[in-house]
């Protein structure tokens, strides 16, 4: 099998925890080189994943002629520069979200890659979750009718940590919404096939001392009329967290419990109705038997790498084009503006 040859910029963090282990399981991928600023760290990662070479500078890795594509998982503040440099070296790019500090900067990255003739995808790996794909199909088939409401909640406990770049606005661009809520916004649009047209939001730093928000609530109106909410937090203990992605329609519902996250799992409680129920003035609860959807779990990161490799090796459209991430970031920016200006923002 033909393999896409990879280099990784920012091989610690999420790369080491999730993406590189996933890449090792992808039959159409070969890891050539990794890059970390610290020599010992770079060499440790190289040995762990049996890469051929380790670098301590992004330019050195990008100058490696054996590399076809790069995965970039460095701090957000570096994304635009590194992605444009990768395009200049003719490397295809899988870029972690958010793909830049602002939507305008993100668009400039995509435009630069188009100019250089390289493909660039965004790291919205949750699109490859087993239940996400199954729920998307059910929605597209009209199984729950017209979507009228949906909600997502994605949180973690992220206390003050000296030097943590995600807790710095100048390095991350934002906090819980930018880091976690962005996944829910992407999935809501992706799964419904409808984009956000209005945004209202509140956010704050309630619990910790850093300068990005640790709590965010966003209200979204989609182009199809559905009204949705996204809750993201850095200040809910992991033991108390309840990650959810739920959709309600005129003919049923899909309740996704822990179908988002870094591990493919969870459960979906579904109700499919043959027709909409009639009006009941007494509002007694109707007992309708739900069903638990069955799927075969896998590795989202492996699927992401395989999909990207297939797009490059066989010249197929990207499943997660970076242009989608530009649009999602414009929604995030509208949410920040809504909070600051205390008004609804039209997109």
Q: What is the DSSP string of 222-237?
A: ETTS-EEEEEEESBS-
pLDDT at 262: 96
pLDDT at 286: 61
pLDDT at 329 over 80: yes
pLDDT at 275 over 90: no
pLDDT at 328 over 60: yes
pLDDT at 282: 57
pLDDT at 131 over 60: yes
| Contacts of residue 186, Cβ cutoff 8 Å, sequence gap at least 6 | 97, 124, 126, 127, 324, 325, 328
Give residue-wise pLDDT tens across range 100-111: 999 999 999 999
Residue 70's pLDDT band, with cuts at 50, 70 and 90, is: very high
Which of 225, 223, 227 has its CA nearest to residue 347? 223
pLDDT at 310: 98
Residue 23 and residue 301 in contact, taking contact as beta carbons nearer than 8 Å: yes
Out of 16-30, 219-233, 277-291, pick the least confident: 277-291
Per-residue pLDDT averaged across 336-343, rounded?
Answer: 98
CA–CA separation, 116 and 94 (whole Å) = 15
Tell me 345's DSSP state. Answer: E
Residue 58 and residue 35 in contact, taking contact as beta carbons nearer than 8 Å: yes
Tell me 15's DSSP state. Answer: I
pLDDT at 279: 58
CA–CA separation, 259 and 256 (whole Å) = 6
Residue 274's pLDDT band, with cuts at 50, 70 and 90, is: confident
pLDDT at 288: 74
Percent of the chain with pLDDT over 90: 95
Give residue-wise pLDDT tens across range 139-184: 999 999 999 999 999 999 999 999 999 999 999 999 999 999 999 9
pLDDT at 119 over 70: yes
Per-residue pLDDT averaged across 286-308, rounded?
Answer: 92
What mean pLDDT is reported for the chain? 96
Residue 201 and residue 192 in contact, taking contact as beta carbons nearer than 8 Å: no
CA–CA separation, 236 and 180 (whole Å) = 13
CA–CA separation, 78 and 173 (whole Å) = 11
The domains of the chain, with CATH numbers, are 4-124 (3.40.50.720), 126-300+329-346 (3.30.360.10)
pTM confidence score: 0.96
pLDDT at 280 over 80: no
């Amino acid at each position: 099998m033909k393999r896409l040859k990879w280099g990784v910029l920012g091989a610690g963090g999420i790369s080491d925890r999730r993406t590189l282990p996933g890449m090792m399981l992808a039959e159409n991928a070969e890891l050539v080189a990794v890059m970390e600023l610290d020599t010992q760290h770079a060499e440790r990662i190289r040995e762990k994943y049996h890469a051929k070479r380790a670098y301590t500078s992004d330019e050195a890795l990008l100058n490696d002629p054996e590399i076809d594509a790069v995965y970039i998982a460095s701090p957000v503040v570096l994304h635009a520069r590194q992605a444009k440099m990768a395009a200049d070296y003719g490397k295809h790019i899988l870029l972690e979200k958010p793909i830049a500090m602002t939507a305008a900067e993100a668009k400039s990255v995509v435009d630069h890659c188009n100019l250089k003739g390289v493909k660039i995808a965004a790291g919205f790996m949750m699109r490859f979750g087993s239940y996400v794909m199954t729920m998307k199909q059910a929605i597209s088939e009209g199984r729950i009718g017209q979507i009228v409401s949906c909600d997502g909640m994605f949180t973690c406990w992220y206390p003050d940590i000296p030097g943590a770049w995600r807790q710095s606005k100048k390095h991350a661009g934002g906090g819980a919404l930018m880091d976690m809520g962005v996944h829910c916004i992407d999935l809501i649009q992706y799964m419904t096939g409808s984009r956000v047209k209005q945004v209202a939001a509140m956010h704050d730093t309630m619990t910790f001392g850093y300068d990005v928000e640790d709590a965010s609530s966003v209200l979204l109106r989609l182009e199809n009329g559905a009204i949705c909410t996204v809750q993201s937090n850095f200040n809910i203990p992991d033991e108390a967290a309840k990650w959810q992605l739920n959709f309600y329609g005129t003919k049923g519902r899909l309740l996704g419990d822990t179908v988002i996250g870094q591990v493919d799992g969870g459960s979906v409680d579904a109700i499919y109705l043959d027709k909409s129920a009639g009006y009941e003035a007494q509002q007694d609860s109707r007992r309708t038997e739900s069903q638990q959807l069955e799927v075969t779990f896998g590795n989202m990161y492996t699927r992401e790498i395989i999909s990207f490799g297939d797009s490059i090796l066989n010249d197929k459209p990207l499943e997660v084009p970076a242009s989608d991430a530009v649009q999602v970031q414009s929604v995030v920016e509208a949410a920040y503006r809504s909070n600051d200006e205390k008004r609804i923002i039209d997109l």
